[in-house]
Amino acid sequence: MRSIPFSIDGAVGQARATTLKLARGTVQTPVWMPVGTQGAVRGVHMDLMHGTGTQIMLANTYHLHQRPGEDLVARHGGLHRFMGTELPLLTDSGGFQVFSLEKDVTEDGVTFAYEVDGQRTFLSPEVSMEIQQKLGADIAMVFDECVAFGQDRKYVEASVARTTRWEARSKVAHGRTDQSLFGIVQGGFWADLRKRSAEEIADIGFDGYAVGGLSVGEGHQKMCDVLDVTTPHMPWNHARYLMGVGRPLDLVEGVARGIDMFDCVIQTRHARSGVMWSWHGRMRVTDKRYRKDMRPVDEKCTCSTCQTYTRAYLHHLFRVGEVLGATLAAVHNIAWFHQFMGTMRASILDGTFESFRKSVRDLDDEGEPENPEGEGQGKSGGRTQQPPRRSRSGG
């Protein structure tokens, strides 16, 4: 393992602003990580990714193992060269991807059928570590078992014990000294099992710690309840990562409970259907109200999409089926969420986090219903007759 230099730059209650110094760069938190499942953030060229403010990305061990295989990635010199980036990368262990599949779980590991071609596949702590070390991300995740929401307590108790043993085996099998290794806390939806898992995983000792087993259909309040009984038992002086969560309300409430890192696919998945996020709320740019709207998606956003294109142009691209629309929407969503997290970090450092937290309404709702035919009215009542100009930074 590579120990991560880690500092807490400021805190308001449990909310922290921290800095991680990884092998390929410094990451300031709270941070959301875009997901490049197959070794690419779907539809977004890496040059565009570099202009969004992205600090670190995630790739998927399970999928890359299936196609193209970790040996081919290693022949490229590792995942960074394969993807064409020097940004820090994190690879998950594959445990989350197999939890919803038909599988055979034993002490050795998990056997399941790959959903694309039915090929039988076996993953274990040792196999997962071998794959991730060949991929060569800055952070690897231990192999664990993610249990479904609603699973009975007896099974979860056995799973927690097995996961602890698997994580200990992961640490033994992980020998790459330029790659950090994070542990994962499980325990389902029982407070005592979460406490037990957190303490057992901390006793093994890792470079950082993740909360797993959430974002499996439990809902926002249940997620918060689990964090309330989990993070107090996780080491304060290490990075904390909540896996698979990324809506604004979830992010701010996770940070309020001591989480530093997040990942989620909704930013790019929503973009492909024309759903874009802003400080006004979530908007679907394919709606006819935006057909002649001369404003950017978000007038406060500094991304290249908002600095260059109008809502009317984006509406047009989706209407005619032009794939560029999805790319521009994804660039905006990625950049906007980084700006959202940056604003949250600033509020922790200046002591106004609770005010920021209260201001974050549920941004799932459609925003800005006014201006249905796009007369260019901004909040000040002025008109934007020309498309916004590109900023000098391009980002």
* DSSP state string for 315-377: HHHHHTT-THHHHHHHHHHHHHHHHHHHHHHHHHHTT-HHHHHHH---TTSBP----TT---B
Question: Dihedral through CA 292, CA 298, CA 299, CA 305, nearest 10?
Answer: -80
Q: What is the pLDDT of residue 105?
A: 93
144 is catalytic: no
Residues above pLDDT 90, as percent of the chain: 84
Q: How many other C-beta atoms can be found within 10 angstroms of the C-beta atom of residue 120?
A: 9
Q: What is the pLDDT of residue 94?
A: 82
**19-24 contacts, C-beta under 8 A, 24 or more apart:** 20/208, 20/239, 22/56, 22/88, 22/138, 22/139, 22/180, 23/88, 23/138, 23/178, 23/179, 23/180, 24/80, 24/86, 24/87, 24/88, 24/89, 24/138
Residue 360's Cα: distance from chain center in Å? 19
Per residue in 294-340, pLDDT (tens digit) is: 999 999 999 999 999 999 999 999 999 999 999 999 999 999 999 99
Q: What is the pLDDT of residue 361?
A: 73
Higher per-residue pLDDT: 134 or 379 = 134
Name which of 153-167, 179-193, 248-262, 366-380 the model is least confident about.
366-380
Residue written as token pair 């790019």: 268
Start-to-end C-alpha separation, the chain: 34
Length of the chain: 395
Residues above pLDDT 70, as percent of the chain: 91
Marked catalytic residue, from 92, 207, 250, 260:
92
160: pLDDT strictly greater than 50: yes
Per residue in 80-104, pLDDT (tens digit) is: 999 999 999 999 988 776 677 788 9
Count Cα atoms within 13 angstroms, Cβ side, for 298. Answer: 25
18: pLDDT strictly greater than 70: yes
169: pLDDT strictly greater than 90: yes
Name which of 38-52, 107-121, 231-245, 261-275 the model is least confident about.
107-121
393: pLDDT strictly greater than 70: no
8: pLDDT strictly greater than 50: yes
395: pLDDT strictly greater than 50: no
Q: What is the pLDDT of residue 371?
A: 45
Going by pLDDT thresholds of 50, 70 and 90, the confidence category of residue 363 is: low
374: pLDDT strictly greater than 70: no
Nearest-angstrom CA–CA distance, 99 and 115: 12
235: tokens are 């080491």
380: pLDDT strictly greater than 50: no
Q: Residue 219: which region, alpha, beta or left (left: phi > 0; alpha: psi -120 to 50)?
A: left
Domains of the chain: 6-264 (3.20.20.105), 274-395 (no CATH)
The residue-averaged pLDDT of 246-264 equals: 97
Nearest-angstrom CA–CA distance, 167 and 100: 20
The alpha carbon dihedral of 320, 326, 327, 330 has a sign of positive
92 is catalytic: yes
Per residue in 106-141, pLDDT (tens digit) is: 999 999 887 778 888 899 999 999 999 999 999 999
Helices (H) and strands (E) in the chain, counts: 15, 17
pTM score, whole prediction: 0.91
User: Which residues, at least 6 apart from 211, have a Cβ–Cβ distance to it below 8 Å?
Assistant: 184, 185, 226, 227, 230, 231, 234, 240, 241, 242, 243, 259
Marked catalytic residue, from 260, 263, 293, 298:
263
Nearest-angstrom CA–CA distance, 75 and 330: 30
271: pLDDT strictly greater than 70: yes
Nearest-angstrom CA–CA distance, 55 and 162: 34
